[in-house]
């Protein structure tokens, strides 16, 4: 980042880790298709499989469970389209790539930002048809952490499969694929220090999933097309680095909590969302009463502080959060909410910069309203 700027939009994308850069440089200097049987192809295959093992280790999965994709959205769509005989049940707080699934039944959210698993239990009991349930591990806007283990128990009790979008959770909180009982998990490289344009769908051994992309035998026939070797090895290196640095999030949590205290000291009427449930250590969703999120984002950007309003997957548009709406937050409060997300090189000076810029905007809006 340039001098005088503060990047607090890590949930949108993170900077490349040094380990990922080094791994990608090595892959970019190598010419070989992982499907070729000559020595260059075998070396490329070895690099690919090393990365597969690194990504699997991040969540305690088996390497053969990893299916590399172009990112989290493709992995989500593959999971939801991969079982055409099953009806879909998705939570109201999911990423758009899940929410747009056709003919899906929606699990409502509770005011604390978690999915209503009691309603999920009722939905599955009321209709005996085989189902696929999709519930994210942690919300990208509020940071609210979902009870995936309980969702898995409910789903399996009714013969359903559970897909979990762990894009925001992986590398930030411990995530044990087997212990949580997930059948499918979505991962994305650029949320944990890897490159954009690469992700993975993790599939429990023994589950047959229809491929979304046909035309080749790559990824054990589950995703056709020559693998993005530089992106995948960068993903693997970033996954390993993230797994080794999970303890760093205790420091990040302290900075997030400091930001919350200081912002509320300036504006006691501000509202921080999802504080009644465990959240990701790096995520803060706050509403400045009476000031549109778009206004806040532009003012903070002019002051050198980069934040966002909800998901960053809306082609640059600032729109009311469907997550806050699902939580029952009123329209005016939802429209004034911004997301502040921290990362491994966030420093206390960045919090100082945020508080100064946000506080100045708050003072201006209150002065103009007087």
- Active-site positions read 313
d(CA 92, CA 108): 5
Q: Within a 13 Å sphere around the CA of 253, how many CA atoms are in the beta-carbon half? A: 12
Q: What single-letter DSSP state applies at residue 221?
A: G
d(CA 320, CA 329): 11
Strand order in the sheet with 161-165: 66-69, 199-203, 184-188, 161-165, 131-134, 87-91, 105-107
| Enclosing H/E stretch for 78 | helix 72-81
Q: What length is written for the chain?
A: 370
> Helix, strand, or coil here: 267?
coil
Give backbone dihedrals phi and psi of 277, rounded to 5 degrees, phi first.
-140, 155
d(CA 71, CA 222): 15
Residue 116 makes CB contacts below 8 A (sequence gap 6+) with 107, 108, 109, 110
Query: If we measure between CA atoms, which residue out of 284, 332, 242, 304 comes closest to residue 57?
Result: 242
273 within 8 A of 113, measured Cβ to Cβ:
yes
Residue 355 makes CB contacts below 8 A (sequence gap 6+) with 259, 262, 263, 266
Give the CA distances from residue 96 to residues 4, 72, 109, 235, in Å, rounded to whole numbers and listed in that order. 33, 11, 15, 23
225 within 8 A of 180, measured Cβ to Cβ:
no
């Amino acid at each position: 980042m340039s001098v005088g700027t503060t990047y607090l939009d890590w949930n949108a994308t993170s900077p490349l880790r040094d380990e990922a850069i080094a791994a990608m440089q090595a892959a970019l200097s190598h010419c070989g298709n992982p499907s070729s049987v000559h020595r260059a192809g075998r070396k490329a295959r070895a690099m690919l499989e090393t990365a597969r093992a690194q990504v699997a280790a991040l969540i305690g999965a088996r390497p053969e469970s990893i299916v590399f994709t172009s990112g989290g959205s493709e992995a989500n769509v593959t999971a939801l389209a991969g079982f055409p005989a099953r009806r879909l049940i998705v939570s109201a707080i999911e990423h758009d790539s899940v929410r747009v699934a056709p003919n899906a039944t929606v699990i409502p959210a509770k005011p604390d930002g978690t999915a209503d698993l009691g309603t999920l239990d009722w939905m599955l009991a009321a209709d005996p048809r085989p189902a696929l349930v999709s519930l994210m591990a942690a919300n990208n806007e509020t940071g609210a952490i979902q009870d995936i283990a309980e969702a898995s128990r409910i789903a399996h009790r009714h013969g359903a499969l559970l897909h979990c979008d762990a894009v925001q959770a992986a590398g930030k909180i411990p995530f044990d694929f087997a212990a949580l009982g997930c059948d499918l998990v979505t991962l994305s490289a650029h949320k944990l220090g890897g490159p954009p344009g690469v992700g993975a769908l993790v599939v429990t051994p023994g589950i047959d999933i229809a491929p979304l992309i046909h035309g080749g035998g790559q990824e054990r026939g589950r995703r056709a097309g020559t693998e993005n070797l530089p992106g995948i090895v960068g993903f693997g290196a970033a996954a390993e680095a993230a797994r080794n640095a999970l303890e760093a999030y205790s420091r990040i949590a302290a900075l997030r909590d400091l930001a919350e205290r200081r912002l509320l000291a300036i504006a006691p009427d501000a509202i921080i969302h999802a504080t009644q449930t465990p959240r990701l250590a790096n995520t803060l969703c706050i509403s400045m009463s009476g000031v549109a999120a778009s206004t806040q984002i532009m003012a903070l950007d002019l002051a050198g502080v980069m934040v966002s309003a909800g998901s960053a997957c809306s082609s640059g548009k600032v729109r009311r959060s469907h997550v806050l709406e699902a939580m029952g937050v009123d329209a005016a409060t939802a429209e004034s909410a911004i997301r502040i997300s921290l990362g491994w090189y966030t420093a206390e000076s960045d919090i100082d910069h945020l508080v100064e810029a946000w506080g100045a905007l708050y003072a201006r809006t209150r002065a103009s309203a007087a």
